[in-house]
Structure 1
Amino acid sequence: MDVLWDSEPAPARGPRRGLTREGIARAAIALADAEGLESIAMQRVAAALGVTKMALYRYVPGKAELVALMVDVGIGPVPDIAGTGRAALEAWSRALHAVFARHPWATTAVVGPRAVGPHELRWTERALAALAGTPFTGGEKLDAVAVLAGHVRAIAQQGAEEEIGQAMGAVLAARAGEFPEVSAAFADPGERNAALDFGLARILDGIDAEISRRS
């Protein structure tokens, strides 16, 4: 939390004086975009910046803090989304999906208990604002945002693993008798890559229905 929310350390003399936490995070993001989250190591990020590993520790104490910074810098400023209600929630969800599409490693980095930075918290603030005026409690609003974000993340991760789905098609072609329902579903896929739209529509339908029921 200190790394995400506290002020930058005072500039240092020598080769470290040009370093910032955001600059370090962006160098790590470029590496993760190209090679995945498993490629992140303080030594490699330091090399990309042309400094020693020890020079980074003044700004980022370790890899866990670095990944937290990467997530917050990677998600970036909250998008300009107008209004409230269903349209705003859908626009927010699609904007989040675009972030995961740009940074596939983030679908893994955001899983589990973790610190949240200012950019990410402003995204949450915007999603909650879209639910202003609804009969939901604060906890229910947070749950609704979590469900939307979870769907978006899962679909983005699925898209990053599309090659696995293609390989499964070849497996099922030889084992249709053993897995008849799965084989039939793969054989009649309907519109391709529609899972994001389908899931968003069902979640938002459910939110709308619950608002109407309480009203």
Structure 2
Amino acid sequence: MASPRVEVRMTIEFLWHTRAQPTRGPKPALTLEVITDAAIAIADSEGLAAVSMQRVATDLAFTKMSLYRYVPGKAELVAAMVERAIGQPPVLDTTDWRAGLKEWAHQLLAGYLRHPWALEATVGPRPIGPNELGWTECGVALLAPTGLTGSERFDALALLAGHVRMIAQQAGASRNPETELIAMIGELLRQHGDRFPALTATMASASSGDGQNQAFEFGLDRILDGLHALISQRV
């Protein structure tokens, strides 16, 4: 069995196509894209844990061994799934950093909502493919003319990505998590409101307005407001 470091290197080579590909033998009956799409379909409907080489082979009506001609193992398969599911970075119509980052965040959220398992597959240190690295390139390029340092640009993008992931995780747990949470808090306050007067008043004010279920936009705008304030100091 290969060491974790060797496995990571092999996955990186696979994602970036730096490993030599077979050129002889019969015409391939499958393609990596077909295999990856089958794995994504399983993960979309049943979760990442349901994906295995055997399950994908079964769904494609091939043997498990036939898949290894195209993908070395499950680690490489999951990495390829992330690359294909999240896709290439967005092509933005603007060079304005704020508008661009807002669109960047919206498109990243849409990808996670289409494929919730990608949240689990993109946690912690792992091999990064060209598509995923391209998303980072797109984000930091927007911030390049702002006067922020390299570290600040990375941190800004990490903050945005973290906000996107939090909202996507909440959406994955429930169709309308904010509404459910507010309903639960409301029920508790009906019984114990005298102990939480400030929260009771806040809930009453919120229920009379139309600002509920806007956590993504509210948080996104506040992050961008903070970046704008910091960038303005550098001008």
TM-score computed with the length of structure 2 as normaliser = 0.80
Q: Deviations over 1:76-130 (max 9, x none)?
A: 1222202131001101111111111111111221111111111111111111111
| Counterparts of residues 85-164 of structure 1 (less than 5 Å) | 85-162=97-174
Check if 1:52 corresponds to 2:72: no
Cα distance, 1:174–1:12 mapped onto 2, change above 3 Å:
farther
Q: Is the 8 A contact 1:100 1:156 kept in 2?
A: yes
Q: Structure 1 residue 182: deviation in Å? A: 10
Q: Cα RMSD over matched residues?
A: 2.7
Cα distance, 1:11–1:173 mapped onto 2, change above 3 Å:
farther
In the aligned structure 1, how far is the partner of 2:71 from the partner of 2:199?
49
Structure 2 match to 1:196: 216
Q: Is the 8 A contact 1:72 1:119 kept in 2?
A: yes
Amino acid at match of 1:19: L
Equivalenced residues, count = 214
Check if 1:37 corresponds to 2:48: yes
Q: Structure 1 residue 58: deviation in Å? A: 2.7
Q: Deviations over 1:153-201 (max 9, x none)?
A: 1101111112694665675566432984897467746533211101110
Greater C-alpha radius of gyration: 2
TM-score computed with the length of structure 1 as normaliser = 0.86
Check if 1:22 corresponds to 2:33: yes
> Unaligned stretches of 5+ in structure 2?
1-11
Q: Is the 8 A contact 1:100 1:107 kept in 2?
A: yes
Q: Structure 1 residue 70: deviation in Å? A: 0.6
Task: Extract structure 1 runs of 4+ deviating beyond 6 A.
Answer: none
Structure 2 match to 1:210: 230
Cα distance, 1:81–1:6 mapped onto 2, change above 3 Å:
same
In the aligned structure 1, how far is the partner of 2:111 from the partner of 2:21?
28
In the aligned structure 1, how far is the partner of 2:231 from the partner of 2:48?
40
Structure 2 match to 1:74: 85
Q: Is the 8 A contact 2:186 2:203 kept in 1?
A: no
Amino acid at match of 1:103: H
Aligned residues with identical type, % of pairs: 47
Q: Secondary structure at the match of 2:36?
A: helix
Q: Structure 1 residue 212: deviation in Å? A: 0.6
Q: Secondary structure at the match of 1:133?
A: helix
Cα distance, 1:168–1:97 mapped onto 2, change above 3 Å:
closer
> Unaligned stretches of 5+ in structure 1?
none
Q: Is the 8 A contact 2:14 2:76 kept in 1?
A: yes
